[in-house]
């Protein structure tokens, strides 16, 4: 369905019945329909100055509608995330600015992220993309701003979380993962910095963000068959590490996210990550882990080599320890699913009333 926005721009207001979004006249924007928990809801506005590879005249520029506040929320190899204010309303948004999108590898990746965000428009605990702009070789992805910051800042301010807080946080993340996984989508980059909290210092409510590495939805929510090794080494599942180190590559699926959730839970409860790597070359000098350090981490992850602190059930409940171990199972067939987590006593015992 095509509608007219309040500012006179043509936009896609709903997924068409065919399940295809075509904001660019580009067949790469076809999206298979799924039976995910949240699908076929309103789609973000689309302001593209391109059609069939050509600039479109009389299309408002991003900077005509938004102005920067000067606040930088994050940055990476893709570009940066900054706060912008909508000139008409004064509302603040988090804008992901991705440059050099004339690169034949980068633009398809950005379009994939937009597609995945569109699939989960209106879903609980998943970051919401409001609209996006494509101008020359730059994309501007406008997201709702989540004011409380990242989960890692919450944990660092407290050293670790008590069981009720950790339980509520894991429950919210598991609900987001259940939604993604029900559509056959693997997030593939679950970590502290990709979880945003609404209130500073509070673990919930929260949203899962950065779907830049997420896989495409699959027909009928079937398990995806993935072979590309992506993610953060300390949170990467053994089967993803195997895709780096072993040949032939054995495909993995969305169960890799549950391992990452286990790493996250471990760090919430104990205040440190289960997998570390120290090659011994940096004694007395702080520096980023080198290649050898990362190889040690990957080896430990591949073989599930981690230790719980001495007397783990003296520090934590048996339910907490059981959930950690059930998520950090090397064989994904033995690993708890998102549904299992939501039914686990550690989560149900502290469910918000």
Tens digit of each residue's pLDDT (9 = 90 or more) over 286-299: 566 788 888 999 99
Residue of 165, 189, 210, 319 marked active site: 189
Which tops the pLDDT comparison, 167 or 19? 167
Evaluate whether 275 touches 262 at the Cβ level (below 8 Å). Answer: no
Q: Which helix (H) or strand (E) holds 81?
A: strand 79-86
All domains in the chain, ordered by first residue = 2-144 (3.30.200.20), 151-348 (1.10.510.10)
pTM as predicted: 0.83
Evaluate whether 97 touches 161 at the Cβ level (below 8 Å). Answer: no
Q: Residue 245: which residues within 8 A CB-CB, separation 6 or more?
A: 298, 302
Alpha helices in 48-92 (DSSP H): 62-65
Q: Report the DSSP pairing between strands 138-144 and 10-12.
A: unpaired
Q: Is 14 annotated as a binding residue?
A: no
Q: Return the closest-CA partner of residue 153 out of 199, 91, 115.
A: 199
Tens digit of each residue's pLDDT (9 = 90 or more) over 155-172: 999 999 999 999 999 999
Tens digit of each residue's pLDDT (9 = 90 or more) over 97-148: 999 898 888 999 999 999 999 999 999 899 999 999 999 899 999 999 999 9
Evaluate whether 163 touches 269 at the Cβ level (below 8 Å). Answer: yes
pLDDT surpasses 70 at 6: no
What pLDDT is recorded for position 59? Answer: 72
Q: Per the structure block, which two tokens stand in for 122?
A: 């209106």
Residue 189 bears catalytic tag: yes
Rounded to whole angstroms, the Cα distance separating 174 from 349 reads: 15
First to last CA, the chain: 39
Q: Per the structure block, which two tokens stand in for 158?
A: 């407290």
């Amino acid at each position: 369905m095509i509608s007219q926005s309040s500012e006179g721009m043509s936009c896609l207001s709903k997924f068409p019945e065919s399940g295809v979004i075509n904001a660019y006249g580009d067949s790469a924007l076809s999206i298979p329909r799924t039976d995910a928990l949240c699908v076929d809801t309103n789609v973000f506005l689309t302001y593209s100055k391109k059609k069939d590879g050509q600039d479109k005249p009389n299309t408002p520029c991003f900077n005509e509608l938004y102005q920067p506040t000067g606040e930088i929320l994050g940055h990476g190899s893709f570009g940066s995330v900054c706060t912008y204010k909508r000139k008409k309303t004064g509302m603040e948004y988090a804008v992901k600015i991705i440059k050099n999108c004339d690169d034949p590898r980068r633009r398809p990746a950005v379009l994939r992220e937009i597609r995945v965000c569109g699939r989960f428009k209106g879903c609980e605990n998943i970051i919401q993309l409001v609209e996006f702009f494509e101008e020359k070789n730059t994309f501007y992805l406008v997201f709702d701003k989540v004011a409380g910051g990242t989960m890692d800042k919450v944990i660092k301010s407290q050293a670790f979380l008590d069981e009720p807080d950790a339980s509520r946080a894991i429950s919210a993340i598991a609900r987001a993962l259940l939604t993604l996984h029900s559509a056959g989508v693997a997030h593939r980059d679950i970590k502290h910095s990709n979880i945003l909290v609404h209130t500073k210092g509070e673990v919930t409510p929260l949203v899962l963000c950065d779907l830049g590495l997420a896989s495409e939805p699959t027909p009928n929510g079937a398990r995806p068959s993935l072979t590309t090794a992506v993610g953060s080494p300390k949170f990467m599942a053994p089967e993803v590490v195997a895709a780096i180190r072993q040949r032939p590559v054995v495909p993995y699926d969305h169960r890799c996210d549950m391992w990452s959730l286990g790493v996250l839970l471990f760090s919430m409860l104990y205040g440190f990550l289960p997998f570390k790597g120290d090659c011994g070359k940096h004694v007395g000098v702080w520096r980023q882990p080198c290649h050898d350090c990362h190889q040690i981490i990957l080896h430990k992850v591949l073989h599930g080599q981690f230790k719980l602190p001495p007397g783990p059930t003296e520090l934590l409940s048996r339910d907490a320890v059981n959930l950690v171990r059930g998520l950090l199972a090397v064989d994904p067939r033995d690993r708890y699913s998102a549904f299992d987590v939501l039914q686990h006593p550690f989560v149900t015992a502290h469910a918000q009333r």
